[in-house]
Amino acid sequence: MKGGPAVPNKELDVGLCVSSGQVFRWRQTASGFIGVDGPNVMEARKGRGGWVLESRPDPDAATRLFQLDRSLEPITQEIIRRGPELKPFIEAYPGLRVLRPKRADETLFSFLCTTNNNLARITRMVETLAGYGKRIEDGRFEFPIAERLAEVGEAELRGKGFGYRGRTISRAAAQVATRGSSWLDSLKGLPYDEARSALCELDGVGLKVADCVCLVGFGFETAVPVDTHLWRAACDLYFPEWEGKSLTEKRYLAVGDLFRDRFGEVAGWAHQYLFYHRVLAYRGGKAPVYYEQ
DNA sequence: AGCGAACCGGAC
DNA sequence: TCCGGTTCGC
């Protein structure tokens, strides 16, 4: 287990990253955070010079997950240059990054748990799914492949409190399994919109879940998942005429296109800051504060 | 095309 | 009563 040089706080905030709705298998510890990604267990603690990350068995796994080979500064500067109205949100969450988990299938099935759901329950459900995978060490599991999830079946998942998601997860797992072991990852090689369309063929996967998989699972950084929080934020900032209206497919696509037009290659990152700000405001129960640019 | 309701179960 | 969404039916 290697603990590289400390990563400056300006470049990384592990707590923000792992609690911003991209991954669901990280927990707070006395000294920091511990989580699983792919076959690796990672620990992070905050030292004097910043965050110290360790991962086992692959010592480089955390570098990949947090994309530490990329500097955050140019990305946030580009967002602010293109959209000064987001400056307050960028500055409020230094070290927030778009993550890059090892396995897109874990991202897919995790986000199938998120529909019409809350974070506490999502976390428990993802942990339950992980429990069907191979044990790595005490209480930690490698997320199961689709073939294994397909065997579990709807009834058992419903029995474990998945509700109607027991059906969609079970069916989507069977569909992914049928398409073959390399199908999901092969979508990475497609243009973004084609990969998204292919994902939407799966049971229970609509535009939002597909965009989550595209952004976090595949690394398409022009993908912009529009959930209820981002929808409201986007109405406030960019579509005042849609305030209070429902999120239709047409409007969903328009929000994504606005972000892609305005932020280009950093659209997905821009979305992450605005999304997380809105989530925190929601959790705090207070109205989100917006600033003049 | 666009809106509303159902869907499971738990949090607020 | 309301979801961090998808799907179906008006």
**What CATH number is associated with residue A47?**
3.30.310.40
As ranges, strand B nucleotides with an atom below 7 A of a protein CB are 1-4, 6-12
Task: Please give the radius of gyration of chain A, using alpha carbons only, rounded to the nearest integer.
Answer: 19
Residues A195-236 have pLDDT tens digits of: 999 999 999 999 999 999 999 999 999 999 999 999 999 999
Boundary residue ending a domain (A217, A233, A268): A217
Does strand C come within 7 Å of the CB of A55? no
As ranges, strand C nucleotides with an atom below 7 A of a protein CB are 3-7
Residues A77-118 have pLDDT tens digits of: 999 999 999 999 999 999 999 999 999 999 999 999 999 999
Structural domain harbouring A180: 105-217
Q: Which of A87, A208, A245, A286 is catalytic?
A: A208
Boundary residue ending a domain (A164, A199, A217): A217
Note whether residue A292 is domain-resident: no
Q: Kindly state the average pLDDT of the residues A248-264.
A: 96
Q: Are residues A57 and A75 in the same domain?
A: no
Higher-scoring residue by pLDDT: A293, A260: A260
Boundary residue ending a domain (A217, A249, A264): A217
**What CATH number is associated with residue A159?**
1.10.340.30
Q: Are residues A59 and A83 in the same domain?
A: no
Q: Are residues A238 and A253 in the same domain?
A: yes
Q: Are residues A109 and A211 in the same domain?
A: yes
A197 forms bridges with which residues in the sheet? Answer: none
Q: For residue A288, is pLDDT > 60?
A: no
Q: Are residues A202 and A125 in the same domain?
A: yes
A41 forms bridges with which residues in the sheet? Answer: A36, A56
CA distance A230 to A31: 32
Any catalytic annotation for residue A46? no
Q: Are residues A225 and A213 in the same domain?
A: no
Looking at the structure of chain A, the number of domains it has is 3
Q: Are residues A167 and A236 in the same domain?
A: no
Distance of CA A44 to CAs A27, A40, A75, A162, A165, Å? 10, 13, 23, 30, 32
Alpha carbon dihedral A117, A123, A128, A129, in 10-degree steps, equals 80
Q: pTM of whole model > 0.75?
A: yes
% chain A with pLDDT above 70: 96
